[in-house]
Structure 1
């Protein structure tokens, strides 16, 4: 496709050679504005011989912001033509003023002076009937490279009328608007940023062509001289900025080659700088126009290169980019050749760039549509591949089912063991914080109670001695009074003793002191039990007396234990056992508490409810047995008592975690826990603990 485009361009150039018209004027001369020549009066005074003579109708006046003065001389035949029109077909000429030989202003044209009905730079000599002069003077002003194509038109077929021109641009803008709104709809529907970049690009392309045609100047900013002079350059810079960024994103240049991507970003930065030079005067003059023209020549070939590169990497939508930029470059070259008077000025050369931009926008839209088709095909291909893979997987699953079934039993056992471990861990986690808080609470209570109890205990003995001394004094008074008091005084003393019930008071004081002493001793035992039990939050192994733990547990359970239940202790000689004291106390608490509940529920049916505690030394181990003569347990209950959350108690009276925690604690201490029970024969829990938890027995 690209090959045929370039062949077409070559044929256009070959067919255009030799058709260029010769100089139609009797004389064309020009000079630049200077200190000596700055208005029409100064220019009229200059003879033709002092002007720079031009053999052709195309004047290339160079780079300048200044005005240029041009003098043309018609022939007699041209002057007598019925429909002679002077055309200056460069749309970039900002100001054109036409004067007669006497310096009278006949017409103002150009970008700054564009109005609704005058889009072309055309001057009809029929509008100045009665003027027999053959000499006319022109003032032109523009920016950058000032090119002035001057031609005489005598046939309407040689130029477009206003209606014809409106029709041409109406078709152009219709296509652009159709592409804009179609892709705007796609952008809103798909949320793809590429569509947003595309509609931004074709918007600025349409604005640029509208500025070239004069429509935007006349309709949007008819009174803004700045926008009329610089609007084309600003829109051109914006077109290139958005176009390059869109091309980089669409062609995936950043993915394929980061160096090429960086070049594109650098060109965008240069265009941003050029845009700022037009918006803000940086004092660089003509350099901004030269920069713009240089990069206008570089950018199409860069885009052509990255399109070819992306296509070579297998990205199919890049072919539409390649074709669109090739067409745009061809149309740009033809337009520039016509602008430079290398090709003749015709409808084709005048509007080839406009329609080249239309085809470019269409092809870029096709590229986006092709991208959607590619994605659709890739998705369908991916779905087909997935179906094949699913079928293969299904066959593989059927083949492996037999193998998996053989492993199910082993895996099930492993899962059951993991479940038990998880349940044990869960139960430990549930109670860890609770037991730690309980340990801190009981330790605090024991500490706070211990201080006043110590005070009471330490004061009871001195109080007994003091009261004994007082009793000796009272006895002395009673003995002495009986001998020395008068009968009246003795009678009064006797009456006072009877009123005060002295004998009863003395007996009561003795009983009170005894009760206080017993209560203080009892409280000291309870505090000691609390302090022993409060070690549930200890995390370090220590050597402890197991009997102390059992006794402290019984003390704490006394308040909840029916008085009918007897506790029988059968303690042997035990060494100190290395363990977590608080955890072991928790074991005693749970097992003894369960025994109490079992007996309490049947206290009326059991003649002598007993809880027996036996301890024995077994070499490197110690044995603790906790027995009750309660109802016992059936086999199906016995098998599940260590499962987390299993309980035979009523709702709200048990969590089913106690014995599960007990089992975990004994297991963590490398001990054993055995349950001996029969229905109606009571229950015995036998605990075996190693004396040493570490390998170093003697430290």
Structure 2
């Protein structure tokens, strides 16, 4: 901090030590506004000295205004006789300057809108005063910015800068700017770092602004364009701030350190964009855009200085150069403003301090970028060293991994074996399902083929019984008539024939045969119906099914394998039609009932009254089916594994262990549940819950 104060003090001392540009050569300096005069010089000529606001200095700070100012100058008598005496108005930002004689004659037009490359004196806003001429002059000035009007009387022998010296100064300035532009452009092309692109854009607009400020850009590129003569400086200033702020927040990594400050920076850029548009499109806001620009020209340096300090405190080393560059520029701005306020004298250093400050700022920003490259280079070297370290660590890890590899291979082998077992399980289930589907198709075909002749037989039994009944009536009639009308010999012969044929026994046997045929046909029809119901295992479409039909058909098919001692008790409730795959559900009933039959058959001697009870119940959106047996039950460890594939308690060759696993999958696919209630010696109950509708939201 002490170094900064020392540097600032040194700059101020240098500014005050330089000789002041020209001494006051006026006996009277006064000014007034043009608000009531409407630009009428004749009315100004009629005003007395006391009607002007008199100034003790030839430097007038008239501030911001939307109107023009009239200034009255009276030259000291000792200056009138000098040759090559010039009246200089040393502010290149004044838009228009008109110099009138004491008689109201327009002597000269100067200012930005009157720059002329053919007349170098206009760059300095100079007018050659005639030797021994008038001593009173009237000057009309206006500006969109601050109306600072410094008057000087200079001659060829004064120490003020000549045109050639000024050109030399700006030539050196533009040479430095151009060299930095080309150098950083080369770096941008080489490194592809967008920061260099932003920096060269910033250098370009800084150089453009200083060129406009010096009058070179106006005179060389657009000497006759009034709009650019008036506004080019403000447009370039806006662009300098837009690019400079964006470059600064990118360079200082503000978005990484503090996103809120980054958004503030973008907000300031948005204001500048609005100001830029306001200059290009007339919104009717007049001087407001310039006032707004002036306000933010005071805010932006403070903002940039603050974020550079913030970034430096975060440990970002390139912020040092950035902070110092902006500190120098702000110091130059302070000195320039102090000279504008007439606190510091007007000389070469104070007049061009801002231009000199911009050179140092650009140089230091370039150093900051170079420092960042060095930091990136060092970081890359550190990164490479870290990579080398990591490689060495990797070698060590590889040796360690080789030790662990066998263990991992073993674990992976176990996983593959488990996966193989799962695959075999799935394959077995698929094969079993395919067999069931084929069996269903075969059963359906057999049932269809048997159904036709059975229908023929069953449909003919009733007419046959009716015909035999008619024949019996005829035989009875013959027997009754024979008793009355036959001769004794005929009766004897008929009696002998009846005894030989055992007619009474034949008649009784015919009746029994007819009853047996009728019972057999009915049973065959029921079996065929059961086969047709059970054969739907290959169906893939959900249909509404009567579960009672499925249970009954399953029992019919199992009748041949159910010992006569086992009783089947049906406790059916009222069930709605249930949406399901009928064949799959029949397969569930078949497996569970068949397991119950086997459990009872294997322990028949221990169970006096073996019973399988089947209960059904409707519970709103779902139905419940309970299949209970009073068999031996299961211990807990068996219960925990009954749904595992290939797990079976049956003897070798009597079961695959897939039945209940498939049953569980079928119920799960129907969005139902399957529970087992069992205790050793207390029997087993399978509880099946199925949703009535497969697309009900409750089960989705």
Q: Which runs of 5+ in 1 are unaligned?
A: 470-520, 552-568, 587-615, 623-664, 676-683
Q: Could you tell me whether the CA contact under 8 Å between 1:549 and 1:585 is conserved in 2? A: no
Aligned-pair distance for 1:418? 3.1
CA distance 1:666–1:277, shift in 2 (3 Å): closer
Contact 2:451 2:528 in 1 (8 A): no
From the superposition, tell whether residues 153 and 673 of structure 1 become closer, same or farther in structure 2 (CA, over 3 Å).
farther
Structure 1 residue 345 corresponds to structure 2 residue 346: yes
Contact 2:94–2:141 at 8 Å: present in 1 too? Answer: yes
Tell me the CA shift for residue 279 of structure 1. 4.7
CA distance in 2, matches of 1:221, 1:441: 98
Take 1:239 and 1:318, find their aligned partners in 2: how far apart are those partners? 20
- Number of residue-to-residue matches in the alignment: 553
Partner of 1:366: 367
Matched residue of 2:63: which SS? strand
Shift of 1:223: 3.7
1:671 counterpart = 2:670: no
Change (3 A) 1:400 1:284: closer
Distance 1:115 1:389, change over 3 A: same
Per-residue displacement from partner, 1:567-619 (whole Å, max 9, x unpaired)? xx99999999xxx9869989xxxxxxxxxxxxxxxxxxxxxxxxxxxxx9576
Distance 1:532 1:134, change over 3 A: same
- Taking the aligned partners of 1:440 and 1:217, their CA distance within structure 2 comes to 101
Q: Is 1:123 aligned with 2:126?
A: yes
Q: 1:666 offset after TM fit, Å?
A: 9.8
| Corresponding position: 1:694 with 2:676 | yes
1:530–1:435: structure 2 CA closer, same or farther, 3 Å change rule? farther
C-alpha contact (below 8 Å) 1:674/1:687 kept by paired residues: no
The answer (yes or no) to whether the contact 1:670–1:690 under 8 Å persists in 2 is no
Q: Is the 8 A contact 2:676 2:685 kept in 1?
A: no
- Give the aligned partner of residue 70 of structure 2: 69
Deviation at 1:329, TM superposition (A): 0.9
The SS at the match of 1:55 is: coil
Residue 417 of structure 1 corresponds to which residue in structure 2? 417
SS of residue paired to 2:418: helix
SS at match of 2:382: helix
Which residue pairs with 1:317 in the alignment?
Answer: 318
Take 1:379 and 1:196, find their aligned partners in 2: how far apart are those partners?
Answer: 22
**Is the counterpart of residue 241 in structure 1 residue 230 in structure 2?**
no
Which residue of structure 1 aligns with residue 499 of structure 2?
none
* 2:209 aligned counterpart, secondary structure: helix
Match for residue 637 of structure 1?
none
**Would you say the 8 A contact 2:59–2:150 is kept in 1?**
yes
Could you say if the C-alpha distance between residues 395 and 536 of structure 1 is closer, same or farther in structure 2, counting changes exceeding 3 Å?
same
Other structure's SS at 1:26 match: strand
| Secondary structure of the structure 2 residue equivalent to 1:364 | helix
For the structure 1 residues 688 and 361, does the alpha-carbon distance in structure 2 shift closer, same or farther, using more than 3 Å as the test?
closer
C-alpha distance in 1, partners of 2:157/2:439? 109
> Per the alignment, do residues 148 and 584 of structure 1 end up closer, same or farther by CA in structure 2, a change over 3 Å counting?
same
Task: Report the Cα distance in structure 1 between the residues aligned to 2:284 and 2:307, rounded to whole angstroms.
Answer: 35
Question: How far apart are 1:78 and its partner, in Å?
Answer: 2.9
Shift of 1:37: 5.7
Distance of 1:438 and 1:526 partners within structure 2: 18
How big is each residue's C-alpha offset from its partner over 1:254-312, in whole Å with a ceiling of 9 and x where there is no partner?
43345544554554455455545545556665554444333323321232222122112
Return the offset for 1:151. 0.9
Question: Is the CA contact (8 Å cut-off) linking 1:194 and 1:249 kept in structure 2?
Answer: yes
Give per-residue Cα distances to partners, 1:515-562, cap 9 Å, x unaligned.
xxxxxx99999997686454257999x9899999999xxxxxxxxxxx
Q: Aligned residue for 2:537?
A: 535
Q: TM-score, normalised by structure 1?
A: 0.64
> What is the deviation of 1:147?
0.7
Secondary structure in 2 matching 1:332: helix
RMSD: 5.3
CA 41–422 in structure 1, closer or farther in 2 if over 3 Å, else same: farther
Instruction: Show the counterpart of 1:479.
Output: none
Between the aligned partners of 2:602 and 2:160, the Cα distance in structure 1 is 119
* Cα distance in 2, alignment partners of residues 11 and 303 from structure 1: 24
Q: Does structure 1 retain, via aligned residues, the 8 Å contact 2:429–2:658? A: no
Q: Match of 2:9?
A: 10
TM-score (norm 2): 0.64
1:58 CA displacement: 0.5
- Is the alpha carbon distance of 1:695 and 1:90 closer, same or farther for their aligned partners in structure 2, counting shifts above 3 Å? same
Taking the aligned partners of 1:549 and 1:172, their CA distance within structure 2 comes to: 109
Report the equivalent of 2:482. none
Residue 120 of structure 1: SS of its match in structure 2? helix
Measure how far apart 1:237 and its partner are: 3.0
Going from structure 1 to structure 2, the CA distance change for 1:11 and 1:99 (only over 3 Å counts) comes to same
Give the conservation status (yes or no) of the 8 Å contact 1:85–1:122. Answer: no
Deviates more, 1:217-226 or 1:455-464: 455-464
In the TM superposition, residue 141 of structure 1 has moved relative to its aligned partner by 0.7
Structure 2 CA distance for aligned equivalents of residues 384 and 98 of structure 1: 73
Q: 3-state DSSP class of the match of 1:145?
A: coil
What is the rounded CA distance, in whole Å, between the counterparts of 2:37 and 2:149 in structure 1?
Answer: 23
1:134-533 correspondence runs (5 A): 134-155=135-156, 158-184=159-185, 186-187=187-188, 192-258=193-259, 260-261=261-262, 263-272=264-273, 274-275=275-276, 278-279=279-280, 286-395=287-396, 397-398=398-399, 401-402=402-403, 405=406, 407=407, 411-421=411-421, 423-424=423-424, 427=427, 532-533=534-535
CA contact (8 A) 1:68 1:139 kept: yes
Instruction: Note if contact 1:300-1:329 (Cα within 8 Å) is conserved in structure 2.
Output: yes
Change (3 A) 1:350 1:620: farther
